[in-house]
Structure 1
Amino acid sequence: MAISDTNLAQRLDRLESTEAIRQLAGKYALSLDMRDLDAHVGLFAEDIRVGKEKVGRAHLKSWVDQTLRDQFTGTSHHIGQHIIEFIDEDHAIGVVYSKNEHETGPEWVIMQMLYWDDYERINGEWFFRRRLPCYWYASDLNRPAIGDMKMRWPGREPYNGTFHDLFPSWDTFWRNRPTGNELPEVASPAPMDKFLLTMRGDTPAPRIRVR
């Protein structure tokens, strides 16, 4: 079957958009670790919301600057798998894994997390509309985060992260242990462009505790 010019243009646009969004995640890590805050906040929409009341890149730069100076001497963010799904031509969602290292005074804290992202194309360029960081653990390199309350920052009381809270399958798995020898039911595969949305179902976004 011949591919129409319109169809081909749409497919090329999707491929180019996918790569542009993937580049956002890499640029985010590099600009953050190298403390180029102008480059960093330029990855977000100009009217990015910061907290409940503030809007704009200047507010985001101020918040990032204070956070980095108050908590970290150095950081390194290692980007893992990146799943991207398009809502329409100019909006997409994604999940990005990140394994991070932080020099925090006398301790070297390692972290495993993922980002739930919303992306938007504005005037032909893709930006972050929102990044929701969901943490599994953070702990000194020499003290593995075994057990509960895996978020263990120096000088703070341990607390639970939200790594698994985006997806109901985690709780469902542990609540429903198979019994007997009957084979389990298997749901139909999720549509290719709705894998993330199918996994999430109607699960609300978790409330993220600022580290």
Structure 2
Amino acid sequence: MAGGNMAWPASLEERVDRLESLDAIRQLAGRYSLSLDMRDMDAHVNLFAPDIRVGKDKVGRAHFKAWQTDTLREQFTGTSHHLGQHLIEFADADHATGVVYSKNEHECGAEWVIMQMLYWDDYERIDGQWYFRRRLPCYWYATDLNKPPIGDMKMRWPGRQPYSGTFHELFPSWKEFWAQRPDKDTLPEVAPPAPLEQFLVTMRRGTPAPKMRVR
């Protein structure tokens, strides 16, 4: 979701609404983790907009429930998702974007897989209720608990070929940082601060979201 020139609400009513929306969205992320880990699929899919897109040509919570159920049954015995920082910015009163860090553990048969990732989220308020409009998982690593994911191809699931995640692809600053070789004798330039409600959008710099790879 692109950021606009959203100003901080001026009236007391608008300010209270913004604070209540921030809390509701943070609750949404917490409910996602709990419902997923406890395998309450109805509670889980109802966190998403009724017309949520599933794959290329399917729409609706029933399709999402079927896909999510199959994925969990086939790959994981148990999971635990531990949330970290949650940044939220508003495009308008009913649309917001967020980034949520998540440290996860997965029981995969005889192996215990740990993971570090973040979610790039779009939120929408529909009939007074906040929902996920889209949730893009961006992975840094996944590996057996006893095998540190040093080197490339950090996504290392049991029985699958290693592959790269999209943890750093979301933000172009990662590649820029390693590509630069600044002159230590020259003071670097500092860009102006991001406008209000556009910190995340500014960090993205207009780049497209990376393709989601189903784990």
TM-score (normalised: structure 1)? 0.96
Following superposition, which runs of at least 4 residues in structure 1 exceed 4 angstroms of deviation?
none
Give the C-alpha shift of residue 189 in structure 1.
1.2
- Paired position in structure 1 for 2:110: 106
Residue 200 (structure 1) aligns with: 204
Structure 1 residues 73-96: Cα deviation after superposition (integer angstroms, max 9, x where no partner): 000000000000000111000000
1:202, CA displacement in angstroms?
1.1
Residue 41 of structure 1 aligns with which residue?
45
* Deviation of 1:179 (Å): 1.9
Consecutive unaligned residues of structure 2, counting only runs of 5 or more, are 1-9
What SS does the corresponding residue of 2:171 show, helix, strand or coil?
coil
State the distance in 2 between where 1:75 and 1:192 align: 37
Any idea what SS the aligned residue of 2:74 has?
helix
1:68 pairs with 2:68: no
The unaligned stretches of length 5 or more in structure 1 are 1-5
Percent identity (aligned): 75
| TM-score, normalised relative to structure 2 | 0.94
Residues 153-192 of structure 1 aligned to structure 2 (within 5 Å): 153-192=157-196
Match of 1:146 among 147, 150, 159: 150
Number of residue pairs matched by the alignment = 206
More divergent stretch after superposition (141-150 vs 171-180): 171-180
Shift of 1:180: 3.5
Equivalent-residue separation in structure 2 for 1:26 and 1:174 (angstroms): 34
Partners of 2:177 and 2:111 in 1: CA distance? 35
C-alpha displacement of 1:188: 1.0
State the one-letter code of the partner of 2:107: E
Distance 2:87 2:157 in 1: 29
Higher RCO structure (Cα 8 Å, ≥6 apart):
2
**Separation in 2 of the partners of 1:148 and 1:185?**
31
Q: Secondary structure at the match of 1:22?
A: helix
Taking the aligned partners of 1:192 and 1:167, their CA distance within structure 2 comes to 19
